[in-house]
Amino acid sequence: MITLQGNFKRSFGLQKLSERLVRRLTMDRAAAVSRSADFALLLEPASKAPEGCLSVAVEGSGCEPSGASTFIELPRDCDHVTAGDVVRFEIAKQRFRILYRKNSDHNNFLVTERCDNYCLMCSQPPKSANDDWILDELFDVIRLLDEQTGGFGFTGGEPTLNDRFVELLKLCNDRLPDAAIHVLSNGRRFSDPSFAERWASIAHRDLMVGIPVYSDISSIHDHVVQADGAYNETIRGILNLKRLKQRVEIRVVLHQRTFERLPELARFITRNLLFVDHVALMGLEISGFTRANLDQLWIDPIDYQNELYDAVSTLDAFGIRTSIYNLQLCLLDKRLWKFAVKSISDWKREYFPQCAGCSVRADCGGMFATAKHRFSDHIRPL
Ligand code: SF4
């Protein structure tokens, strides 16, 4: 696990700063001073913080404040921070959160914690409070990102609940036209043709929306997402998006409620949604609501390999690009290895003691750190 948030180790001279700041770290002192509203200076080891900008150091680097400088020291386990990272500083609470890591391929921005689904296995349980400030902040974050950034994702909650999310994507298109963007959505908002048309009007050349479909039977999907009528809206949303030539990925989380009809779902997709751009079949993350609902969700992945192989074979035979996410190679039917992707974000990924000496570790995506709450008895070195 990589530390992305926590408390300041120490600070100096912050009294006049706003309550919440978002800054891109730079090692260019002149830029940090001339654009102090955008940048914070990441201090060289054993240096003193200059005046005129916010300076940031990591515990143990030997850096110190000086005179009228403003200075924040992050804890030692943040020694991965680097120039180009974007960080939120909450001054009164003395807390920080690293929002974007320049050296990571796994940057995802939370847009909101609100959602109109209430999935049994939601890893980010929805909250109803107005949190529009998060979206407001993302406009600042996107303006601060390096133009060379390769790509990132947006998650929720349900990002499309706020109309201004489309404006944020337009900003991405203007500022970062070469960045690949992935949006996780339940797809329901796209059942409104006018919203789907607004989405298409963004005209980003590398924008994909990942939409969960949990069954070929509407009542099963609606049960998994705990929302009556969701299935019909989601399928209508996918159809509207593809009518407008938008890129769509279907996501299926594999658990006790979804694995049995996986072969039927694959056939449903080939018959009705053959034009989707990608299908991701995903192992369960043991966090959020999953932990509360574990008894009705958990199945050892080794026990659904037949259904998984059947589904992947069907999708692949019809030419649909198909991937398996979050599943360890030692649990997967060897015929499925070529579909396995190292999908677990680097900051959430771990290899357990059982992995010691495993010959395929370099190719295996490991496990969610939260898998300590429940994982297969069949994890074993190969
Ligand atoms: S033992 Fe660990 S590294 Fe090896 S395949 Fe299993 S999970 Fe992956």
Token pair of 9 as six digits: 């180790």
* Cα of 48 from ligand 1 centre, angstroms: 45
- pLDDT tens digits, one per residue of 105-125: 889 999 999 999 999 999 888
Q: Is 135 in the pocket of ligand 1 (CB under 6 A)?
A: no
Taking the CA of residue 380 as reference, the ligand 1 atom at the shortest distance is 1
Token pair of 296 as six digits: 């009705």
The string of DSSP codes covering 195-232 is HHHHHHHT--TTEEEEEE---SSHHHHHHHHT-TTHHH
Would you list the domain boundaries of the chain?
5-100, 108-373
- pLDDT tens digits, one per residue of 317-337: 999 999 999 999 999 999 999
Q: Are 263 and 305 in contact (CB under 8 A)?
A: no
Per-residue pLDDT at 372: 86
**Does residue 1 carry a pLDDT above 80?**
no
Q: Is 331 in the pocket of ligand 1 (CB under 6 A)?
A: no
Q: Which residue from 325, 329, 376 has its CB within 8 A of the most atoms of ligand 1, so it is best to mutate? A: 329
Please name the residues in contact with 215: beta carbons below 8 A apart, sequence gap of 6 or more: 221, 224, 231, 258, 261, 264, 265
Handedness of CA 326, 329, 331, 334 (dihedral sign): positive
Q: Is 328 in the pocket of ligand 1 (CB under 6 A)?
A: yes
d(CA 87, CA 79): 14
Q: Is 381 in the pocket of ligand 1 (CB under 6 A)?
A: yes
pLDDT confidence bin for 231, thresholds 50/70/90: very high
**Does residue 29 carry a pLDDT above 90?**
yes
Q: Is 382 in the pocket of ligand 1 (CB under 6 A)?
A: yes
Strand order in the sheet with 207-212: 108-110, 151-155, 180-184, 207-212, 247-253, 278-282, 322-325, 340-341
> Closest Cα to atom 6, ligand 1: which residue?
330
What percent of the chain shows pLDDT beyond 90?
Answer: 91
**Does residue 371 carry a pLDDT above 90?**
no
- pLDDT tens digits, one per residue of 159-218: 999 999 999 999 999 999 999 999 999 999 999 999 999 999 999 999 999 999 999 999
**Does residue 228 carry a pLDDT above 80?**
yes
- pLDDT tens digits, one per residue of 244-278: 999 999 999 999 999 999 999 999 999 999 999 99
Q: Are 288 and 123 in contact (CB under 8 A)?
A: yes
* Cα of 351 from ligand 1 centre, angstroms: 7
d(CA 283, CA 254): 5
Q: Does domain 108-373 have CATH number 3.30.365.10?
A: no
**Does residue 348 carry a pLDDT above 90?**
no
Handedness of CA 34, 36, 40, 45 (dihedral sign): positive
- Closest-CA residue to 241 (of 209, 281, 274): 209
Cross-strand bridge partners of residue 6: 96
- pLDDT tens digits, one per residue of 270-299: 999 999 999 999 999 998 999 999 999 999
What percent of the chain shows pLDDT beyond 70?
Answer: 100
Q: Using N-to-C axis directions, what is the helix angle for 164-175 and 132-144, rounded to 10°?
A: 10
Q: Is 379 in the pocket of ligand 1 (CB under 6 A)?
A: yes
